[in-house]
């Protein structure tokens, strides 16, 4: 019994304890406590972790295998006390400030991340396999819709300076995606799509380029100011001061060509004039509010008339909508 007791003490009681802080303009870990055991395991405690403006407190990580030298820190088969279903390996090189993180879970879920946190900026690249999108909820900037379910496959690359994201690029395939914001004006359910994008920040404005291949599901998105083809109900403002044109209707007589029916509200419209499209916010919101009403009516009709009923939305307007019913 005495020998067994001594063995337990030598394995589980730390023989060395270290406490340090790590700080860069974009990455900081304060109050790092490291306890090492003779069996090669380690307990890593972080009082506060800050990455690109996001903060986490009182983190505790158990490393089944731990190595540390003057060059790097390596933790294998690690578990975070608040996410034990997501074991991971990570390493951090002190001189280059390079971080590698490999997380895996059930059903083939895997997140592989590589990050560099330099003095002038940072960048993170990620490769996702069957990644559960709800895990991103705590990482997204405030104000964005929060994901609740669904999976992602593909790649992401994010660059920034300090707490500010400067550029985001990605090619992702979503399956069964659901998200919503607090207002309900940006939401999706059972979304299946392939998204490719490149977003660059210019001051307080973002320039977006990308493609969206929608395979299934539903999206409800508040329309924001856009450039390009104007839609009915929007207003076209000429680059020449004083011109204001209301867009009454749009048609596409041939592929790649959009025809606008407009009414000049103020000024004069000249051939070849370049215009900038802006949404009439109040009219657009009034029209959008009728969208969820159609889904509620659809459900009520199926309960009342049977599951064979197939409503077809005929018209959205500011004050009303029309829904046609196919009972065939």
Q: pLDDT value at position 276?
A: 67
What whole-number distance in Å separates Cα of residue 316 and Cα of residue 232? 12
Residue that is written with structure tokens 């304060």 in the block:
30
pLDDT at 3: 35
Residue 219 has pLDDT above 70, yes or no: yes
What pLDDT, on a 0 to 100 scale, did the predictor assign at position 114?
96
CB 309 within 8 A of CB 324: no
Residues 206 and 240 in one domain: no
Q: Are both 114 and 186 inside the same structural domain?
A: no
Tokens for 305, please give them. Answer: 């008339």
How big is the chain, counted in residues? 328
Same domain, 204 and 295: no
Question: pLDDT-based confidence at 322, cuts 50/70/90?
Answer: confident
User: How many other CB atoms are there within 10 angstroms of residue 173's CB atom?
Assistant: 17
For CA atoms 246, 249, 250, 253, give the dihedral sign: negative
Query: Where residue 226 falls among pLDDT bands split at 50, 70, 90?
Result: very low
Residue where a domain terminates, one of 120, 135, 166: 120
Mean pLDDT, rounded, of the chain = 76
Rounded to an integer, the average pLDDT of 179-195 is 79
Last residue of a domain, one of 169, 195, 221: 221
- Residue 4 within any structural domain of the chain: no
Q: Is 281 helix (H, G, I), strand (E, B) or coil?
A: helix
Query: Collapsing DSSP states into helix, strand and coil, what is residue 138?
Result: coil
Quote the tokens at residue 221: 């998105």
Kindly report, residue by residue over 133-162, the tens digit of the pLDDT: 988 876 666 666 788 899 999 999 999 887
Is 138 a domain residue? no
Residue 245: inside a domain, yes or no?
yes
- Mean predicted confidence (pLDDT) in 222-250: 54
pLDDT confidence of residue 265: 78
Average pLDDT score over residue span 272-293: 70
The confidence score (pLDDT) of residue 327 equals 62
Q: Residue 233 to residues 221, 237, 248, 252, 278: CA-CA distances in angstroms?
A: 16, 13, 6, 17, 10
Confidence at 312, pLDDT banded by 50, 70, 90: low
Alpha carbon separation from 213 to 172, 195, 210 (Å, rounded):
11, 6, 10
132 within some domain: no
Which is more confident, 319 or 38? 38
In a domain, 5, yes or no: no
Backbone phi and psi for residue 150, each to the nearest 5 degrees, phi listed first? 115, 165
Residue 189 lies in a domain: yes
Q: What are phi and psi of 80, to 5 degrees?
A: -90, 135
Same domain for 94 and 22: yes
Element (H, E) at 80: strand 72-80
Q: Is 50 exceeded by the pLDDT of residue 229?
A: no
pLDDT at 39 over 70: yes
pLDDT at 277 over 80: no
Residue 259 sits in which domain range? 235-285
Is position 3 within any domain?
no
Residues 108 and 25 in one domain: yes
For helices 290-305 and 281-288, give the axis angle rounded to 10 degrees. Answer: 10
44 and 76 housed in the same domain: yes
* 37 and 87 share one domain: yes
Report whether pLDDT(284) > 50.
Answer: yes
Same domain flag for 106 and 14: yes
pLDDT for 130: 94
Q: What is the distance between the alpha carbons of residues 174 and 196, in angstroms, rounded to a whole number?
A: 11
Tell me, yes or no, whether 32 and 88 share the same domain: yes
Same domain, 28 and 108: yes
Shared domain for 71 and 31, answered yes or no, is yes
Do residues 44 and 106 share a domain?
Answer: yes
* pLDDT tens by residue, 64-121: 999 888 899 899 999 988 778 789 999 999 889 899 999 998 889 999 999 998 777 8
Tokens 């994201």 belong to which residue? 165
Half-sphere exposure at residue 117, Cβ-oriented, CA atoms within 13 angstroms: 21
| Residue 124 pLDDT | 92
Query: 267's torsion region: left (phi>0), alpha (psi -120 to 50) or beta?
Result: left
Higher pLDDT, 220 or 147: 147
Count of structural domains within the chain: 4
Question: In the predicted model, what is the mean pLDDT of residues 173-187?
Answer: 80
Compute and round to an integer the Cα radius of gyration of the chain.
Answer: 27
Residue 2 domain flag: no
């Amino acid at each position: 019994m005495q020998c067994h007791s001594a063995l337990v003490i030598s394995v589980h009681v730390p023989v060395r304890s270290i406490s340090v802080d790590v700080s860069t303009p974009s990455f900081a870990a304060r109050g790092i406590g490291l306890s090492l055991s003779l069996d090669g395991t380690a307990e890593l405690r972080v009082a506060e972790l800050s990455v690109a403006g996001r903060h986490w407190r009182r983190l505790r990580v158990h490393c089944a295998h731990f190595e540390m030298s003057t060059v790097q820190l390596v933790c294998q088969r690690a578990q975070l006390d608040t996410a034990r279903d997501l074991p991971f390996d990570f390493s951090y090189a002190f001189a280059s400030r390079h971080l590698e993180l490999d997380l895996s879970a059930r059903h083939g879920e895997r997140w592989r991340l590589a990050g560099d946190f330099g003095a002038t900026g940072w960048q993170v690249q990620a490769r996702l396999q069957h990644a559960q999108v709800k895990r991103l909820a705590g990482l997204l900037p405030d104000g964005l819709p929060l994901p609740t379910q669904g999976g992602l496959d593909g790649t992401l690359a994010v660059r920034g300076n300090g707490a500010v994201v400067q550029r985001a690029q990605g090619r992702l395939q979503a399956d069964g995606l659901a998200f919503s914001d607090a207002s309900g004006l940006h939401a999706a359910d059972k979304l299946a799509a392939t998204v490719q994008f490149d977003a660059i920040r210019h001051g307080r404005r973002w320039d977006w380029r990308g493609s969206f291949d929608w395979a299934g599901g539903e999206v409800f998105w508040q329309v924001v100011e856009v450039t390009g083809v104007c839609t009915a109900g929007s207003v076209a403002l000429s680059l020449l001061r004083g011109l204001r044109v209301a867009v009454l209707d749009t048609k596409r007589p041939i592929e790649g060509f959009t025809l606008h029916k407009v009414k000049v509200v103020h000024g004069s419209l000249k051939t070849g004039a370049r215009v900038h499209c802006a949404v009439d916010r109040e009219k657009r919101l009034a029209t959008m509010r009728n969208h969820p009403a159609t889904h509620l009516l659809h459900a009520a009709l199926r309960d009342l008339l049977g599951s064979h009923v197939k409503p077809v939305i005929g018209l959205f307007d500011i004050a009303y909508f029309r829904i046609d019913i196919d009972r065939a």
